[in-house]
Structure 1
Amino acid sequence: MAMAGRSIGRGAEVNGILGIDLEILGEQASALGRAGRRVEATLAALAAGDASDHDRLIRAAAEAVWAYFIQREVCGLRRHDEAIAVYGIPREVLVRVGGG
């Protein structure tokens, strides 16, 4: 609890944001970073894979992209156009996610 310039424990205000809020934002950012790295890894595997494994790689990439989009939305990022361009997410992956 914050009172007139004094603060007590984890709930202390820092520039109008409670300490717990800062922790939540940090965890959201961390989870978004992990999800982005997973997208990168699955897209790299897709690019390097052979035709016999193509369907499995597309499914794995679509799952990673879907999870990444969900995490973006949790962070308040509702439009994914820029992320699609930055990661170079192929249309065949987006179709599996439902955004192609």
Structure 2
Amino acid sequence: MSVRMPSNFGRSGAQESALDLLGHEILAEKAAALGRTGQRVEETLKKLRENSDSEQRTRLLKEAAAAVHAYFIQRELCGLRRHESVIREYDIPRAVLVRLGAS
């Protein structure tokens, strides 16, 4: 499917301006989504650290791994490909990273 600018944008300058506004809107939404997924990572890791029950721990590890995975994907969509600093900053446990396939 292709998207075409409306024909009422007569000049190319107006078209460029509209596309620029759309680009800013997309970037703002990407940043907001990155913030939301980062907050979810913080929440799930906090629950994981606070709980020592082995039955709950398995479920919490799964939730934390899903949240971290979503965060890594969102970072990559924003053009941020390296995750080492984030792993250190959030202090993501090795048990969570192993569930993501890290060795």
Report the count of equivalent residues: 92
Counterpart selection for 1:72 from 68, 71, 75: 75
Instruction: Provide the residue aligned with 2:23 in structure 1.
Output: 21
Letter of the aligned partner of 1:70 in structure 2?
I
More strand by share: 1
Instruction: Provide the residue aligned with 1:62 in structure 2.
Output: 65
1:87 counterpart = 2:90: yes
Letter of the aligned partner of 1:54 in structure 2?
R
Please state how far the C-alpha of 1:97 moved relative to its aligned partner. Answer: 1.0
The percent identity for this pair of structures is 49
Counterpart selection for 1:45 from 28, 47, 64: 47
Runs (4 or more) in structure 1 with deviation over 4 Å come to none
Please state how far the C-alpha of 1:47 moved relative to its aligned partner. Answer: 0.5
Kindly provide the CA deviation profile for residues 14-64 of structure 1, in whole angstroms up to 9, marking residues without a partner as x: xxx711000000000000000000000000000011223110000000000
TM normalised by structure 2 equals 0.82
Letter of the aligned partner of 1:29 in structure 2?
A
RMSD: 1.7
Instruction: Provide the residue aligned with 1:30 in structure 2.
Output: 32
